[in-house]
Amino acid sequence: MAATSSYVLPFEKPVVDLVTRLRELRDLAQTDEGFETELRKLEDKTRRLAREIFADLTAWQKVQLSRHPNRPYALDYIDRLFEDFVELHGDRRFGDDAAIIAGLGRFHGRSVAIVAQQKGRGTKEKIARNFGQANPEGYRKAHRVYGLASRFGLPILTLIDTAGAYPGLGAEERGQSEAIGACLGQMATARVPIVATIIGEGGSGGALALGVANRVLVLEYGTYSVISPEGCASILWKDGSKTEEAAGRLKMTAEDLLRFGIVDRIVEEPTGGAHQDHDAAAAAVGAAISDALENLDRMDPAELVDDRYRRFRALGVFTSTSDNAENVRSSD
């Protein structure tokens, strides 16, 4: 199933045209087997063309794909992957934040806690969800569910998709940074398996509040960075025309993230991107989460905490000159 919106990025139009024709042929093939041969030929042609076009995408084009309004959002995955989902509301301090969806459900027959960011479709829902940018009460709701999961021994599964935490005055007054920090601490010490999946864009601390996991997965055209390309260009060069250059320098695409050890696995998307087939995208994400949980189930609670600690301590590379080392020894 694909989204119904007709939004198409310029560079993906040839693939979208073929995918649309392919979808029509599949419908015809269900009633007339005579279309099977042409269907197989078109499937092969579509896959080849998609590989050729998408193999040469720039970092900025991948950012555009990660933000594609037709991409499956958190609720699309929740509807397809989890049974008996019960959403929990409110942070028990201020109110509820619709940008964060949190609750309990069953994944492959197993009880789990789910925390996700939802951007919303259509103007009305986007405003209600604050475009997926959470306020402190959203992160405190996530913190509450992390605590429940740890207390009852439930694996925590998060779905990351946000441009960042909401930067408004009210959010700052209510303790935005403290709320995010509390989430980081709760996830770091949770004695249960945690698997985070970047389904779209992951921006700054707003994404990291759902990202301190034993295993971090990213969809093929997902992105993850400390700041948006637009924000980076504004700060470094004070020039919005540098956005594309900033996207490349941030090393925020799935391939770069895997190369630097920021993520543990890239989840392959359907031909033309996740927005072309929500069902196939959800199936791929579900299989990747299942594999990650199977691996983590071999660890006891203390090992899970230690595994998470070692994973994040290993991030980043630094060099030390002999002079710096000498200065350190002298100061001791």
DSSP string, 51-93: HHHHHT--HHHHHHHHT-TTS--HHHHHHHH-EEEEEE---SS
- Report the percent of the chain where pLDDT is more than 70: 89
> Helix (H, G, I), strand (E, B), or coil: what is residue 154?
coil
Single out the residue of 153, 159, 151 nearest to residue 289, CA to CA: 159
Residue 263 has pLDDT above 60, yes or no: yes
Check: CB of residue 117 under 8 Å from CB of residue 134.
yes
Residue 330 has pLDDT above 50, yes or no: no
pLDDT greater at residue 258 or residue 55: 258
Q: And the tokens for 330? A: 């002298």
DSSP string, 288-331: HHHHHHHHHTTS-HHHHHHHHHHHHHT-------HHHHHHHHHH
pLDDT tens for each residue of 26-83: 766 666 666 677 777 777 777 777 777 788 899 999 999 999 999 999 999 999 999 9
The CATH topology of domain 64-313 is 2-enoyl-CoA Hydratase; Chain A, domain 1 (3.90.226)
pLDDT at 32: 63
Residue 235 has pLDDT above 80, yes or no: yes
pLDDT at 28: 65
Q: What is the pTM (predicted TM-score) of this model? A: 0.88
pLDDT tens for each residue of 116-160: 999 999 899 999 999 999 999 999 999 999 999 999 999 999 999
pLDDT greater at residue 12 or residue 33: 12
